[in-house]
């Protein structure tokens, strides 16, 4: 998961993932959408692929890139662990405030 976060920290790679979130795309479509050079896009796609975030399939003369689900599911689970923590803390805070209000009402 740390590799996923480090890989996504680079803005161009993050933008590529955002594009691929909407639909699979070819390198040329990514180049056109992000207005960066083809060599840069190819390099970022290679890094994303090595990190397991994207996969490519051949379609005629093009390589079509799409997202791999598992790394993002892992991130989702990790983020969920924080929401559980905060929900517990907020529940405890709510209990504290209700007790405080009851004491003031007496």
pLDDT, tens only, 3-47: 999 999 999 999 999 999 999 999 999 999 999 999 999 999 999
Domain housing 8: 2-67
Q: Give kind and range of the element (H or E) at residue 64.
A: strand 62-67
What proportion of the chain, given as a percentage, has pLDDT over 90? 67
Same structural domain for residues 45 and 77?
no
Phi and psi at residue 27, to the nearest 5°: -60, -45
Q: Which of 27, 19, 21, 23 is nearest to 75 (CA)?
A: 21
Same structural domain for residues 100 and 82?
yes
Q: What is the mean pLDDT of the chain?
A: 91
Q: Give kind and range of the element (H or E) at residue 89.
A: helix 69-105
- For residue 106, name the pLDDT band (cuts at 50, 70, 90): low
Same structural domain for residues 99 and 57?
no
């Amino acid at each position: 998961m740390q590799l996923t976060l480090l890989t996504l920290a680079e803005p161009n790679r993050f933008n590529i993932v955002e594009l691929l979130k909407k639909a699979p795309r070819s390198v040329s479509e990514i180049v056109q959408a992000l207005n960066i050079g083809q060599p840069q896009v190819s390099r970022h796609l290679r890094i994303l692929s090595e990190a397991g975030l994207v996969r490519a399939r051949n379609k005629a003369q093009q390589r079509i890139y799409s997202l791999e689900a598992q790394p993002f599911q892992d991130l989702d689970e990790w983020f969920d662990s924080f929401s559980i923590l905060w929900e517990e803390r907020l529940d405890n805070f709510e209990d504290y405030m209700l007790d405080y209000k009851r004491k003031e009402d007496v």
